Structure 1
């Protein structure tokens, strides 16, 4: 249903990415939207300082070494460079950034404001078990707290109902 007098024409679309299959799929959708609206994309990778170690009876939090953070940031910058070249070939203007902090959701919201994003395109991971119950879903929190429209894309599932590899 169209609302008379209402138009939505995003100029800048923020795409938070963790480089999972679902976030790369979200980037493809965001690129299509950017082409349609002649919008710019801003790709964001937020590196959490507080990392969870699983495989133990109870998850344990630790602060990663600076070397780990530097390597993670360099890896993200390299990945984004490849995405930006590909997007440029599609006629889509794109920029990227890497944020390091304790709060991924806070980083996404801060960058959204700083970059004047008109829209966010984010994917879910379809996690189950104790993680989303204890920590909540990043995508869910972004949807609740973002000041601009958010397009939330579900992760693709296999026939057995499991999230695709790299999405858990």
Structure 2
């Protein structure tokens, strides 16, 4: 296995993202690896067979993208102390548009990341049934190891028997 110099962590800005980012920062700091945070704006083309939008899709997607970029900048700024305390020297944020799993995989391949750290849960309810689990798709097709974290599970204390 090659050295881990670059880690990708998809985030969704939810409360659970903090748990995932904290774990990713710890691993990145341990390996002295750069950390890439990625948010993917789901393309509305995926929903085109289910509804007729009341507004112009291109304008809405552009607004969502711009908002997500601002949110990414703020998120990285708000977590500077976390990254510094974990020993992470390089954190970048990127907002992408398209199918969430495909964009994560494409970014990972393009940046030649050695590890993806992501949450096991994102989509819920009908969206999960329609589009499947992003984590499942990434785990099954990634070109590098994937560490998944269940953000709903409490941390274990002591040894588990």
Same-fold status (TM-score > 0.5) = yes
Which residue does the alignment assign to 1:95?
91
1:21 aligns with 2:18: no
Give the direction of change, closer, same or farther, for the CA distance of 1:71–1:131 in structure 2 (3 Å limit): closer
Structural RMSD (CA): 2.8
Q: Does 1:149 align with 2:145?
A: yes
Q: Distance in 1 between matches of 2:145 and 2:99?
A: 21
TM-score (norm 1): 0.73
Instruction: Select the residue among 121, 124, 137 that pairs with 2:120.
Output: 124
Matches of residues 1-168 of structure 1 in structure 2 within 5 Å?
9-50=3-44, 60=51, 62=53, 63=57, 64-125=60-121, 129-156=125-152
With the length of structure 2 as denominator, give the TM-score of the two structures.
0.76
CA distance in 2, matches of 1:148, 1:61: 38
Q: How many residues align?
A: 148
Q: CA deviation at 1:133?
A: 1.7
Moved over 4 A (4+): none
More helix by share: 2
Deviates more, 1:14-23 or 1:120-129: 120-129
Gaps of 5+ in 1: 1-6, 54-58, 159-168
